[in-house]
Amino acid sequence: MQTLSVIVPCYNEEAVIQEFYKRTKDVFLSLKGIDSSIIFINDGSKDDTKYMLSFIAAQDPKVKVIHFSRNFGHQPAVTAGINNCDSDYAVIIDADLQDPPELIPDMIETLKKEEASVVYCIRKERKGETFFKKLTAKLFYKTMNNLSEVEFPRDTGDFRLIDRKAITAFNSLKEKGKYIRGLITWIGFKQVPFYYSRDARFAGETKYPLKKMLSFAKRAMLYFSKKPLMLSVSLGTAAFVIGIVYGLWVWLSYLFGFSDAVTGWASTVIIIIFFGGVQLLTIGVLGQYIGVLFDEVKNRPEYIVDEKINFEE
């Protein structure tokens, strides 16, 4: 019999846990010939999520729970789920029910029909999201595809189905600052789209405000592209050319007397500000990459587990 694990990162999701569990268990009843389970990862929640998950796991041995020692973030939580998944297939899905678990049977059918390793879900419609969020998401994927060496599917999230081959490949990747949807695209194998309409959040508040979205975008860019480093080279070259041209202009103006640029202070201040800005920008870009290297060299674990429930030793 084939096996399936549904990987669910949770942070302060007490308002949706019971409904998510109920709907997902109903989906399992429709899956014939597949032994299904849920892996909840409690990412250091500060509400009653921990106690609710522990209670559900105590009643249902098909529910596995990983409690983190503190909040490590969404991507480490998903990583922990994949690291602890021994099933033939895994579905990555958030607990907020924006991505309907009822789509899982169709995703499995698509994977088998296409003989693929990954089924990634593309949002035809994004209900309950602001125009600003939709616009920034569109700009993010466009920018990433321009910068990255790998073409990322647009309008996708982490909601996807992966097979054992993809799970094993993902678990072999050792970098700490993971951008999971990018890494799954990067590993290759046959990957096919699955189109759906994304629902509004069932209850509770979004866990990705603007600040976290910007941090997420920065991580994706730094880990998947070296092109920002080329920006430093381009700006440095441009600044050098501008400096040469301006120097020639000042020299000629001094010789032929058609300008008082030599005695003026405004032009000097402008040039200092320009070159100073270029230097700070390039140093800042370089510093971000050095920061990534620093995090990797420390070799700290991505997450620390406080407790596991219903996992075999």
Beta pairing, strands 191-198 & 118-126:
parallel
For residue range 163-203, list pLDDT tens digits in order: 999 999 999 888 877 778 878 888 888 888 888 877 654 44
- Cα–Cα distance measured from residue 82 to residue 112, given in angstroms and rounded to the nearest whole number: 20
Give the model's pLDDT for residue 64: 93
Percent of the chain whose pLDDT exceeds 90: 21
pTM for the complete prediction? 0.69
- Mean pLDDT score of the chain, rounded to an integer? 78
For residue range 62-95, list pLDDT tens digits in order: 999 999 999 888 889 999 999 999 999 999 998 8
3-state SS of 184-242 is HHHCCCCEEEEEEEECCCCCCCCCCCHHHHHHHHHHHHHHHCCHHHHHHHHHHHHHHHH
Identify any residues that bridge with 67 across adjacent strands, giving them in sequence order. Answer: 42, 307
